[in-house]
A and B are shown apart, each in its own frame.
Chain A
Amino acid sequence: MMPPEVVACCGHGGERLTEFSEETQAMLAIRDERDRAAFAKLFRMFAPRIKGFLIKGGCGAAQAEEIAQEAMLRVWHKAALYDPHRANVSAWIFTIARNARVDMLRREARPMPEEMKEEPGSEPDAGQIVALEQEATQLREAIAGLKPAQREVIERAYLGELTHQELSEEMGIPMGTIKSRIRLGLERLRHDLKGLRTP
């Protein structure tokens, strides 16, 4: 019999690991079972925030709603590409929404890196998924704990309001070099965010 975490990750049906966040559980149900109720749940969680995010980034309300809808449709259709070891749900949806915005505003596809495919036969690792989720939570907390002016720079950067020149001028400290693993990368980002707190 397979251990429960393998069942949960492979989506071979049955119980899911309740230690995964609600959104990860919903995303895995969409990916593995094409679960429409899970999609509706994820839509309610994310679509209004995508709309708010796009409006903050300069879109009109109607256009923001249109792009948010397109992003959620892409979440459904591209669900097979979601890998919880590599990205938490918010990060993955952020990239989907970003691409939807660029594609719809420019009316052409944005250059994208090649997909990294999992090694054949590699086992899902529930521990890594949970660790990545926890790090994402700590990252949110680190951003929330910044001084307002510093937090604003971070927000403006990822809302798409800063050019790369402005980024190099304004974000020197926060983003250190990130080594081999995303997990280590997040550690380092958090460390650098801590550095931002001191004036």
Chain B
Amino acid sequence: MSEHEMTDVKHHLTDPIIAAYAAGTLPEHLALVVATHVSLCDSCRAALEAHEAMGGAVLDQTEAVALDDDLLPATLAQLDQPRTEAPVPARQGIFPGPVMAALKGHPPRWKAAGMGVKQQILCATPEGTVRLLYIPGGVAVPDHGHKGLELTLVLQGSFSDETGHFGPGDVEIADDTLEHTPIADPGPACICLAATDAPLRFNSWVPRLAQRFLKI
């Protein structure tokens, strides 16, 4: 399976996350991590394709709803119209295709975030944010917000925390019940793709203050 196979992936996606991606309901920041992990992990790709077979089976059993009579002739008439397909960026070095697509084909433009840590935000929506993180060996992964679901996928190097050791292709799945302090292992810098759900937002300062005290 050549470059696609990464048999040493030890930390995988969970089934509900893959199923939500298959169904198209996973928010974009999380979907990018799933698409990237699947590009690196054949067993999660097989799981995804099995969920897509489930989707096909549900589609097969869905009751048909009549279409406008003109839709088929109109569609046939459009078959020969050229379509401009956006080019699909290929993998470049440690960055798989979906990351290159999010980078719009350019190498990352890192911004310093202190302690030698650098980051580039790839996508920020009201639902959450996904970023590339560059963490020098031995440095703790900065607290990049820990509300709701957090997915961290290693692209280069490795990190360790209370739950284990994560190398290239591994994804750590954390929710707000997990207290952990990931630290980049000594050696080459650890580069990760990290998605976090947006923190709850309040409009006035009083609840925001409460948010700080209550850590919600």
Q: Is the CB of A91 within 8 A of B55?
A: yes
Q: Flag A147-165 by CB within 8 Å of B: 1 or 0 each.
A: 0000000110111111111
Residue count of chain A within 8 Å CB distance of chain B: 82
Tell me how many residue pairs across A and B have CB atoms closer than 8 Å.
223
Answer yes or no: A26 CB below 8 A from chain B CBs.
no
Q: Is the CB of A97 within 8 A of B59?
A: yes
Which residues A122-136 have CB closer than 8 A to chain B?
A: 135-136
Q: Is the CB of A177 within 8 A of B102?
A: no
Across the interface, which residues of A come within 8 angstroms of B59, CB to CB?
46, 49-50, 53, 90, 93-94, 97, 158
Q: Nearest-CB distance from B47 to chain A (Å)?
A: 4
Q: Is the CB of B35 within 8 A of A113?
A: yes
Q: Nearest-CB distance from B64 to chain A (Å)?
A: 4
Q: Nearest-CB distance from A126 to chain B (Å)?
A: 19
Q: Is the CB of A168 within 8 A of B16?
A: yes
Q: Is the CB of A36 within 8 A of B86?
A: no
Answer yes or no: B209 CB below 8 A from chain A CBs.
no
Q: Is the CB of B24 within 8 A of A101?
A: yes
Residues of A whose CB lies within 8 Å of any CB of B are 36, 39-40, 43-44, 46-53, 55-56, 61, 64-65, 68-69, 72-73, 76-77, 86-95, 97-99, 101-102, 106, 108-116, 119, 135-136, 139-140, 143-144, 154-155, 157-165, 167-168, 171, 175-182, 185-186, 188-189
For the side of the interface on B, what is the size category?
Answer: 35 or more
Given A49-B60, A55-B65, A73-B75: A178 and B35 interface contact (C-beta under 8 Å): no
Across the interface, which residues of A come within 8 angstroms of B196, CB to CB?
none
Would you give 23 A-B contacts (Cβ < 8 Å), ordered by A? A53-B58, A73-B75, A91-B52, A94-B55, A94-B59, A98-B23, A109-B101, A111-B36, A113-B39, A114-B98, A116-B1, A140-B57, A144-B61, A155-B58, A158-B19, A161-B25, A164-B20, A164-B25, A168-B14, A175-B15, A178-B50, A186-B50, A189-B53
